[in-house]
Amino acid sequence: MLEHFKVPNDIAVKVPIDRLRAVTEAVFMKCGVPQREAELAADVLMFADQHGIDTHGVSNMLRSYVNMYNTGVMNPDPTFSIVKETASTALIDGGGGLGLMTAPKAMEIAIEKARESGSGIVSIRNSGHLGAAGYHAMMAAKADMVGWCMTAGGKSMIPTFGAEPQLGTNPIAFAAPSDKEPTFMFDAAMTSIAGNKIGLANRLGKPLGAGWVANEDGTPNMDGGAASSFAANSLRNQLPVGSTRELGSHKGYGLGVMVDILCGQLSFAPGFSDLALKRRAHFVAAYSVDAFGDAAEFKSNMDGMLKGLRETKPMPGHDQVWYAGLPEHYEGIKRGEQGVPLHPEVVDWFRSITAEFEIPFDLV
Amino acid sequence: MLEHFKVPNDIAVKVPIDRLRAVTEAVFMKCGVPQREAELAADVLMFADQHGIDTHGVSNMLRSYVNMYNTGVMNPDPTFSIVKETASTALIDGGGGLGLMTAPKAMEIAIEKARESGSGIVSIRNSGHLGAAGYHAMMAAKADMVGWCMTAGGKSMIPTFGAEPQLGTNPIAFAAPSDKEPTFMFDAAMTSIAGNKIGLANRLGKPLGAGWVANEDGTPNMDGGAASSFAANSLRNQLPVGSTRELGSHKGYGLGVMVDILCGQLSFAPGFSDLALKRRAHFVAAYSVDAFGDAAEFKSNMDGMLKGLRETKPMPGHDQVWYAGLPEHYEGIKRGEQGVPLHPEVVDWFRSITAEFEIPFDLV
């Protein structure tokens, strides 16, 4: 709900989700991605674009994916393999493909194992950018399970009391099924703000908020201000959620390390034993509600809890209290009707890439 | 490492851990707890007292447990039962006993299931106060597994934009094994500060910090100050970690709801479908490292990561960077040698309860 990051209404080009999906699939296929995989990748991106998770939609990510395919950083047609498995666990090698498609396939394995033996815990290595982690967690919720998805990699989070970044933003996504209430879907970086939001603020010329990044010497910046007033490397010195030790930054930092362990250590991915190395890995898990009790009763109980949360008496200046997934639910309905608001610059990129790839451009 | 909360050195009475353990066991047994259970309960409390987790040691908790047994709120000799199970999951009914003893028994089941089928996921209902969640997570780490422990219940956390508390402080504990480096053990409330720390600050006459609680109308208090300057109900209006929406309080709040779901919904515990009702439940899980790869390699990789974290260049004013579990490790060594520093008032309580229970008093 950060209006801060929305494309201004007067310049936004509203594109119907089906058209955006079709052109996105075509772009992936022109990069050498097989059709079924291209459909899956587009579905993950459309999930983000439809539900207002703009940091992980086509605007921020698609050109970066195209670039990774063109430069050989990502394999468009990877071999996905199970390195090791037990009744309730698996370690997956993604074959150097995008996490966008690796994670849903890993989650399918987790769901299948949870159906058979109660839970499915899957770590994933050799896999690129994940897309919106919430998509993968939601797969479990749709199968009447609680689901997790996490990803670790890169260097953006500065540990509490540290002066250099050592961890990624390391998001945690979690979803659980309900009946009538919109699904609870939590998806958040363990830094005070998602990394892409700093890039987005930069692009839209918005200031950085207090508590987002550290100053050059590592001390938490609690003033914020124009990106240009920060040293360049400060923009990658993101603070853990909590921002300062006094406000609880050791909690965001500790959860960030936990994500590194579940993704990187549990997948034995290269680079996680030495913070100086480049690294990336993911984690998904599903726990079957049926294994614990009646799924219909669970979903009805969830309804009661979620209704209670959104009917919480609000503080002054607010009409209501939200829960994770509720704003995305409403945004999904709105954008389903009105289209996805794209920045004209993004529409221009689509115009040029479709020309280059010789595929139809029909977004506007 | 909040010196803020330590008993001042000039008045602290240092008690050897073995003496404190023996008298604690004797107190539990006089409450009707069988010997093995009393030993287990004392072990959980000693873990907290030795490692500096003073909010969950004898000073804050033991008299409350005695009171719960005396008034019949807790059953000293409960029937522990498995309500439902699969190869990798179980739902436990704690029989109305303290979580202090229920959770380790549930974790034993999780570990056993993880040995057999890769993972063990256990939800627990009808069980009282958990003690230090880190203890239970550490059981998994000692068995070469990664381990979780969470607990939900009570009303202390105010949702982002809310004006009334709806969730507990809902801590998450997580541990993972290493070889030479002290074990990574994260254990933190999803509020900006543990609930007991507000009581402790009150008792020691220390001010509340900025970002800990909301004002009476629900707006985050970012000034802090003497407890007496807050409305009485504000002390139970704890802010989620992140404190304000701008700093990321929706992350602490969302993780808090996740804990409610894993503990309360997944155990079908009464009260979790209606926020107006009284409720408490726990969750433990263990994932076997062996299921994913070689445990020795995992622990060596963990060493590399943990060493990298504590060797992070520190920010000005700090000698080093810590990771979760490292301060507790050093404190454990120190208190093992020098004893547990108790407030004289706590020693007086032991003097009177041992007299009442007719057991020897030999703490000093």
User: Can you give the CATH number for the domain in which A294 is found?
Assistant: 3.30.1370.60
B273 and B213, same structural domain? no
Instruction: For residue B152, give how far its alpha carbon lies from the nearest alpha carbon of chain A (Å).
Output: 13
Instruction: For residue B140, give how far its alpha carbon lies from the nearest alpha carbon of chain A (Å).
Output: 14
Q: CB of A137 within 8 A of CB of A187?
A: yes
Identify the pLDDT of residue A1.
40
- Tens digit of each residue's pLDDT (9 = 90 or more) over B275-307: 988 899 999 999 999 999 999 999 999 999 999
Q: Which helix (H) or strand (E) holds A85?
A: strand A81-85
pLDDT < 50 positions in chain A: 1-2
Identify the pLDDT of residue A184.
98
Q: CB of B111 within 8 A of CB of B286?
A: yes
Residue with tokens 């006459």: B205
A117 and A168, same structural domain? yes
- Return mean pLDDT, chain B: 95
Identify the pLDDT of residue A364.
87
| Enclosing domain of residue B224 | 193-237
Answer yes or no: is pLDDT of B9 > 90: no
A29 and A124, same structural domain? no
Question: Nearest residue on chain A to B309, judged by CA atoms?
Answer: A166
From the list B307, B341, B290, B355, the residue with the least C-alpha distance to A84 is B290
B11 phi and psi angles, rounded to 5 deg? -115, -10
- Tens digit of each residue's pLDDT (9 = 90 or more) over B202-244: 777 888 999 999 999 999 999 998 888 888 777 889 999 999 9
Asked which of B211, B237, B263 is the last residue of a domain, the reply is: B237
Positive or negative torsion for Cα B275, B277, B280, B286? negative
Listed in sequence order, the residues at least 6 apart from B114 whose beta carbon sits closer than 8 Å to its beta carbon are B88, B120, B140, B143, B145, B286, B287, B288, B291
From the list A23, A75, A74, A77, the residue with the least C-alpha distance to A49 is A23
- Tens digit of each residue's pLDDT (9 = 90 or more) over B114-165: 999 999 999 999 999 999 999 999 999 999 999 999 999 999 999 999 999 9
Best mutation site among A315, A319, A322, A323 for testing chain B: the one with the most B CBs within 10 Å? A315
What is the interface size between A and B, counted as CB pairs within 8 Å? 313
Is A90 domain-assigned? Answer: yes
Confidence of residue B4 (pLDDT cuts 50, 70, 90): low
Asked if the interface predicted TM-score (ipTM) of this complex is over 0.95, the answer is: yes
Question: Nearest residue on chain A to B145, judged by CA atoms?
Answer: A266
A145 and A280, same structural domain? yes
Instruction: For residue A79, give how far its alpha carbon lies from the nearest alpha carbon of chain B (Å).
Output: 19
Q: Where are the alpha helices (DSSP H) in A31-132?
A: 35-50, 58-70, 99-117
Best mutation site among B257, B259, B290 for testing chain A: the one with the most A CBs within 10 Å? B257
What CATH code is carried by the domain that includes residue B199?
Answer: 3.30.60
Question: Which of chain B's residues have a Cβ under 8 Å away from the Cβ of A163?
Answer: 312-316
Tell if the CB–CB gap between A242 and B241 is shorter than 8 Å.
yes
CA angle, A99 as apex, A94 and A105 as ends, to 5°?
65
CA dist list (Å): A231 to A6, A214, A218, B353 = 26, 10, 12, 60
Residue with tokens 């939001």: A197
Nearest to B174 among A117, A242, A258 (CB): A258
Buried b / exposed e over A284-314, threshold 16 CB at 10 Å, is bbbbbbbbbbebeebbebbebbbbbbbebeb
Question: Nearest residue on chain B to A215, judged by CA atoms?
Answer: B315
Is B90 domain-assigned? Answer: yes
Question: Which of chain B's residues have a Cβ under 8 Å away from the Cβ of A190?
Answer: 251
B49 and B91, same structural domain? no
Nearest to A118 among B89, B241, B293 (CB): B89
Question: Which of chain B's residues have a Cβ under 8 Å away from the Cβ of A293?
Answer: 84, 91, 268
Cα of first residue to Cα of last residue in chain B, in angstroms, is: 27
Q: CB of A261 within 8 A of CB of A269?
A: no
B259 and B131, same structural domain? yes
What CATH code is carried by the domain that includes residue A21?
Answer: 1.10.1530.10
Strand order in the sheet with A145-153: A81-85, A89-97, A119-127, A280-288, A145-153, A172-176, A184-188
Nearest to A308 among B86, B188, B274 (CB): B274
- Tens digit of each residue's pLDDT (9 = 90 or more) over B338-354: 999 999 999 999 999 99
Identify the pLDDT of residue A4.
53
Question: Nearest residue on chain B to A82, judged by CA atoms?
Answer: B292
Q: Which helix (H) or strand (E) holds B83?
A: strand B81-85
Identify the pLDDT of residue B5.
63
Nearest to A305 among B275, B305, B323 (CB): B275
Q: CB of A200 within 8 A of CB of A5?
A: yes
Identify the pLDDT of residue B1.
40
B184 and B36, same structural domain? no
Instruction: For residue A216, give how far its alpha carbon lies from the nearest alpha carbon of chain B (Å).
Output: 9
Distance from C-alpha of B275 to C-alpha of B165, rounded to nearest angstrom: 10
Is B7 domain-assigned? Answer: yes
Distance from C-alpha of B154 to C-alpha of B279, rounded to nearest angstrom: 6
Identify the pLDDT of residue A55.
86
Is B225 domain-assigned? Answer: yes
Is B12 domain-assigned? Answer: yes
Residue type, A191: T
Weakest-pLDDT range from A79-83, A115-119, B83-87, B197-201: B197-201
B135 and B100, same structural domain? yes
B314 and B253, same structural domain? yes
Tell if the CB–CB gap between A305 and B123 is shorter than 8 Å.
no
Secondary structure of residue A279 in the 3-state scheme? coil
Answer yes or no: is pLDDT of B195 > 90: no
Is B334 domain-assigned? Answer: no
Is A39 domain-assigned? Answer: yes
Distance from C-alpha of A160 to C-alpha of A167, rounded to nearest angstrom: 11
Confidence of residue B55 (pLDDT cuts 50, 70, 90): confident
Identify the pLDDT of residue A226.
86
Write down the pTM of the prediction: 0.97
A251 and A132, same structural domain? yes
Is B331 domain-assigned? Answer: no
Domain count, chain A: 2
A144 and A52, same structural domain? no
A267 and A185, same structural domain? yes
